[in-house]
Structure 1
Amino acid sequence: MSGQPQFRYTQTPSKVLHLRNLPWECTEEELVELCKPFGKIVNTKCNVGANRNQAFVEFVDQNQAISMVSYYASSSEPAQVRGKTVYIQYSNRQEIVNNKSAGDVAGNVLLVTIEGVEAGDVSIDVIHLVFSAFGFVHKIATFEKAAGFQALIQFTDSDTASSARNALDGRSIPRYLLPEHVGSCHLRISYSAHTDLNIKFQSHRSRDYTNPYLPVNPSAIEGTMQPVLGPDGKKKEPESNVLLASIENMQYAVTVDVLHTVFSAFGTVQKIAIFEKNGGIQALCMVSQIMFFYFIWMP
């Protein structure tokens, strides 16, 4: 029993039971299936706790809850869901009140926790590519907290955000979008209390797709990330939405308009600057989605 008591005997009986050590993202149907032999279930609250592996089940009366606790207290077989031993105790509450927390109230900004990765493993462009499939993404801000690598993603409205959350919560980013050293990474998605993110710079950590005139923070793009090594052990250049192009063997004059036409095929071009360096012509081009460029030109 993993050295952990399956019941707490000192608690006052209640018609609400507290279940622990459930499989991650245990469904309401699985809870009802476990508990229905002992009585009628009138309410449930799933996926609570920091690891979303706890739940509350409310019976129609207290005797039914006592019956379930008594049965498993005396049974040689523990309560199980998906092969995991479930620990059962009486709840301190006498009924389940499904007040929505801030993370359950639909809004236009999603809080996304990307499990199984570290900062730098998943670029902001990959995040944008995944979530823009459901509608226009206004802004993205990424950061690291105790919960892990997280991102705030702002959509136009709550309906678009809800569509993205319903489709992606609990899913994984496609494997081909991840570095080779990263296994599967799950997305845990809730609603944020934010309605409009304050993005001051375009960088590898934050992006405002509505403001092409927002300044680019070169240090944020190039200087703050830990070196990322490729399969050959050599340092990889950090990804950003700013490309440095060297123009060689020019057969005709290369203007801003020409470069705009070339790079527009891979995303919205926000800024272009042409300059001379070391006797050659170079250009800086900032586009909205660098990932499309990489996908087409990767060998």
Structure 2
Amino acid sequence: EDDLEKLVGPFCEGGPPRILLQAQKGHAFVQLPSVSAAQRCLTYFQQTPPTVKGTMVQCAYSARDVASQKELLQTLRESSRVLLVHVVNCMYEMNIDILHQIFSRYGIVEKIVTFTRDPSAFQAMVQFANAKNATDAMRHLDNQNIFGDANTLKIQYSTFSELTVRFNNSKSRDYNNPNLPPGPQARAQAAQLEDVRRGGRGRAAGPAGGSTLMGGVGPPPGRGAPPPQAMATPPGATTLAQPSPFPPYHPSPAHPHPHQHP
């Protein structure tokens, strides 16, 4: 964006340009302060084609007259290969492996990072190899239920273009770099599980404030039949189960929901 701003800067007497860079698609929208400024800029660059970092830039008028901030943000998000995922109505255990199996149906999943901001939901960011895969996944999975009438996916585009993963563990995963270390927290959790397996009392696991819905390191979901549905499908949601499209996973009850009473 800085390179483009310097390029069109001499034609922007009335204020700075608005720039929407779509690097993955190889183009950008540049809105100048006035139509006359845009005409002068286009005329000049058609006669003297500019270059940015050794690459020739081709200039042409856009079909859109005004690029509002909302439109720019929406276009930016729709070009993203990273999705922001919330799993609400969590009646069954959720973890990175479940997300990976679900989302990898629509393309190559490169990275997944989970985080905790809302204790009532399982939250993650999923990075695909390209924006088309992310768009396909969002179109097919948004508002879908993973298990019967529970574990509903709420998906939106992320403004992140690249996720940073330092550890491969229950909280984050880089599928292009399987040799990353598990991190100190994962080692502590593994030690706790070993202690419990040997009959010990175990130690507290997970960071302070961590969500009990995120599972962590532990045995895979149980293979018993799911209990009767406790909550109805949220408005507008459809179900991916009955039969479930995710046959390898047979849910086990998660820890009680923070807002759910026995």
Q: What TM-score do you get using the length of structure 1 for normalisation?
A: 0.39
Relative contact order, CA 8 A, sep 6+: which one is greater? 2
Compare CA radii of gyration and give the structure with the larger one.
Answer: 1
Q: What TM-score do you get using the length of structure 2 for normalisation?
A: 0.44
